[in-house]
Structure 1
Amino acid sequence: MAINKYLLKLAAPVLMTGVLMSGIQANTVNAEQAKVERKTKRVPTLRSKVYDQLSRAQGLADAGNQAEAFEVLDNVKSKISSMNSYEQAMMYNFYGFIHYEAENYDQAIAAFENVVLQQPIPESFEQATLFSLAQLHMMRGNYDQTIAKIEQWEAIQTRLYPNKEIPAKNLVLKAQAMYQKQDYAAASQYINAAVQQVETNDLGFQVDEQWYVLQRAIYFELKQPEKVKDVLLKLVKKFEAPKYWIQLAGMYGELEQEQKQLAVMEIAEQKSYVATGSDMFNLAQLYYYHQLPFKAAAVMQKAIDGGKLAENERNLTFLAQSLNSAKETEKAIPVMMAAAKLSETGELYAQLGQMYLNMDQWNQAIAMSQQALEKGGLRNEGMSHLVIGMAQFNMGEYNQALSQLAKAQEFDGSRGMAKQWSKFVEGERKQVETYASIGNQV
């Protein structure tokens, strides 16, 4: 009993193995295991004099005196010829553990490899060491070795307990290794089996969050967005993390289910999960797409005012367009003006010209359109000439208007409309001239 209690201290801290947190197992032997092992092979005992030295090394390592701990172990090793297989395995196990604590992972692997080479040793001890090796190999990027060690563990388990299923933790570690090897089909098989095993057990256990994260990543690599969405629904329901709500909305967008995408994002917004500038911008775009420009503008204004989004050309332009679409043109104009000053082209000044034209502010429409032409880089220069011509017509400047409309006809994008306006303006001019002639005769 003293040995088993002490061995509980051999459980190493948690290891990062890819996307899964897994702990090196304590090398303990429970009653059932011991009973089975006595039937399979005779295991020598760990003598107290060896145990005392190993315990001393452990104490030194726990106190941070790793160099002294290694000296004690080296002294024990110098007498290796007098030690039985179990004692030698325990000595190497201590070497491995202290090397692990010192972050000497390759030396830890070498030491744990020596543990399993010593035979006979308790099979539960061998299994715990094999699992530790699998984790360490995973951490070092040795994915084939990870799988090999897990399968050695499973071979012992199948021989001792032929009716027991492979534990989910083994399947997950295999899935991680396969994922890193980019064998996504095999990774999917293992992670799905692990998740199903835990989801269907009667012990009340919950699937580890990171298992779902791995499963989601594998489905993503397999280009199975529907299954990615299903896993995200579980993550949202079970773990309620903001990032899962945002990712779920994104997957609905990927699946072209825009109404559900917007609904999820609105729920996330209500929960204050839409907190980053990029997420707020995406929500605003969704509102705009769904013809809710007022909400789009409100989100953009909130993001800019809160410093989540910069007052750059893109953001100011989108805010102005949202305000304009929401019939808030007077609010949109100063925002668009600020964006236009930041732009390298005159495109935004051209849009301002059209906005002023729609507001019947002819002089401003002309001024902005002229500024657009001066700055250049327009997608359709003819539209600015058209706006100027229409504004001049409304100011009664028919000849100037016809001159601008003639220029607008030189461009494909404005030719048709410019011709129609030219005919209209020409007709209006002639009518005005006729009235003037009659008035002079009278």
Structure 2
Amino acid sequence: MKLARCLKPVRPLARVVATGAVLSLLQVASPVVMQEVGYQGSLPGQVMAAEKTKNTEKTRKTPALSAKVFEQLEKAQEYAEAEQFKEAVAVLDKLKGRSSKFNAYEIAQMYNFYSFIYYSQENYPKVLDSYRKILAQSPNIPLAMENSTKYQMGQLYFVTEDYKNAIKTLENWFKVEPTANENTTARVLLAQAYYQTKNYDKALSQIEQAMKITQAKGKEPKENWYLLMRVLYYEKGDMKKVAWVLEELTRRWPKKDYLVQLSGMYSELNNEKRQLIALETAYVANMLSRQQDLLNMAYLFLGSDTPYKAAKVIEKGMKEKKIEPTAKNYEVLGNSYRAAQEVDKAIPAMEKAAKLSPKGENWARLANVYLDDDQYGKAADAARKALKKGGIRRKDNTQIVLGMALFNQNKLDDAKKVFKSIDDKRSKNMKEQWLKYLQSEIDRRASLEV
């Protein structure tokens, strides 16, 4: 089963501001102002710029970005924002022709713009190639730029389904990025990559860490995190954990699918009581509409000795046209009402089942119900139809019902013929007893007529 992606790669952003007005500002601005407007390069004319990364003592010296290179990058960005990608690439290609004279930071910024344009065109192989050329300029580029490129590269490897390289790149990013440990989005992405390579233990480790970090901040983990965890536990064959995840999903996001899946998982764990509770919860909330879900619940009610509830579920489902009025479904409805001692309601359902069925089995069952309800004429008629249609599991039992119905109608000779016709060894004793009793009753009535 392929996991739906919940993450997309961060859109590569140009690290140079786009307008000449801002460029003029940067030439006279303080370092604080430069940080606020997003400029990460050095001022034109400066030879070296010192960069200190947040939460680290590392200091990396970065070459300057010249005014001429900046102007060309600005021009390329203007074309890109106007979606004139061909013109933007032409500007960068011209710039690349002179790149032998550029410093590492200028080359990195140039390829950063290439990645921006290629990403806009969804040309992911060229985006990745641009990322590699940016990283090739290390250590003469800002550490933040290097780490950000690694993260974007890991995301893009994932999107292009190169999961092994996605894992390798993201794991490397986790080692060097000071803020990585708190980045739950990155952990979930890495967990998905591990899932795709079937490394379920490492995937679980990452998703569990993401959840712990989130909960420690007093926030709730995202729904799709639990969905990933559910798949991972399922792949590992840990059904108890799958059930736990589904319990969390139904508690936080009560949806039909989760309740139905939870019910199915309880079935796997042979916990019919909880299986029924989960389905009934969905039913009461009016979440169940599929015929199979409704029938499953009806069968569970039957199994838990609550046949009346089973009957009501099926009857309501038929009225709402969620359950098809087939012979089988009418049969279950009739049997449910019969088990609930609601014979008056069982008979109409069983009559419909018999009329819709091509075989005689439902007529045979109906004959039994009629006999129990002292409707002997209908019992005899139903038994005859069952025998005529055939396909009865126990023909001898239906013959016995017919014989008993005839006896109760005082049709002793007809009843005797029926019992004589029984040739099933399983009913031998009953056949002989009835024949003996019928003969004695015939003889007794004959003596009274003399």
TM-score tier (shorter): 0.7 to 0.9
1:166 shift after superposition = 6.4
CA distance in 2, matches of 1:353, 1:107: 78
Please state if 1:382 is matched with 2:396: yes
- Structure 1 stretch displaced more, 340-349 or 227-236: 340-349
1:147 shift after superposition = 0.8
What is the one-letter code of the residue matched to 1:142? D
What is the one-letter code of the residue matched to 1:153? W
Please state if 1:156 is matched with 2:176: yes
Please state if 1:112 is matched with 2:112: no
User: Residue deviations 1:241-275, cap 9 Å, x none?
Assistant: 33323333333333233223333333333333334
Please state if 1:133 is matched with 2:133: no
Please state if 1:316 is matched with 2:330: yes
Task: List runs of 5+ in structure 2 lacking aligned partners.
Answer: 16-34, 41-50
CA distance in 1, matches of 2:175, 2:135: 14
In structure 2, the partner of 1:11 is none
User: Residue deviations 1:201-248, cap 9 Å, x none?
Assistant: 2x2232121111111111112121221222222222323333323333
CA RMSD of aligned residues (A): 3.2
CA distance in 2, matches of 1:406, 1:49: 113
Q: Is the 8 A contact 1:154 1:166 kept in 2?
A: no
Taking a change above 3 Å as real, the CA distance of residues 166 and 388 of structure 1, as seen in their structure-2 partners, is same
Partner-residue secondary structure (3-state), 1:182: coil
Please state if 1:24 is matched with 2:24: no
Q: Is the 8 A contact 2:377 2:405 kept in 1?
A: yes
Match of 2:200 among 167, 170, 184: 184
What is the one-letter code of the residue matched to 1:288? L
In structure 1, the partner of 2:210 is 194
What is the one-letter code of the residue matched to 2:132? E
In structure 1, the partner of 2:264 is 250
TM-score, normalization: structure 2? 0.80
In structure 2, the partner of 1:302 is 316
CA distance in 1, matches of 2:82, 2:322: 47
Q: Is the 8 A contact 2:403 2:419 kept in 1?
A: yes
TM-score, normalization: structure 1? 0.81
In structure 1, the partner of 2:405 is 391
Instruction: Count residues with an aligned counterpart.
Output: 415
Please state if 1:121 is matched with 2:141: yes
Match of 1:169 among 159, 168, 185: 185
Task: List runs of 5+ in structure 1 lacking aligned partners.
Answer: 1-15
Q: How does 1:24-423 map to 2 (within 5 A)?
A: 24=10, 34=53, 39-119=58-138, 120-157=140-177, 165=181, 167-199=183-215, 201=216, 203-410=217-424, 415-416=426-427, 419-420=429-430, 422-423=432-433
What is the one-letter code of the residue matched to 1:410? D
CA distance in 1, matches of 2:185, 2:340: 54
Percent identity over paired residues: 33
CA distance in 1, matches of 2:352, 2:284: 31
1:23 shift after superposition = 5.0
What is the one-letter code of the residue matched to 2:131? F
Please state if 1:427 is matched with 2:432: no
Q: Is the 8 A contact 1:25 1:128 kept in 2?
A: no
Q: Is the 8 A contact 2:404 2:415 kept in 1?
A: yes
User: Residue deviations 1:120-170, cap 9 Å, x none?
Assistant: 32222222222222222223322211111111212323xx57xx8464333
Partner-residue secondary structure (3-state), 1:20: coil
Q: Is the 8 A contact 2:52 2:59 kept in 1?
A: no
Taking a change above 3 Å as real, the CA distance of residues 428 and 183 of structure 1, as seen in their structure-2 partners, is same
- Structure 1 stretch displaced more, 145-154 or 101-110: 101-110
Partner-residue secondary structure (3-state), 1:42: strand
Q: Is the 8 A contact 1:191 1:211 kept in 2?
A: yes
- Structure 1 stretch displaced more, 302-311 or 325-334: 325-334
In structure 2, the partner of 1:6 is none
User: Residue deviations 1:3-57, cap 9 Å, x none?
Assistant: xxxxxxxxxxxxx984533552776789996367884422234445444444444
Partner-residue secondary structure (3-state), 1:41: strand
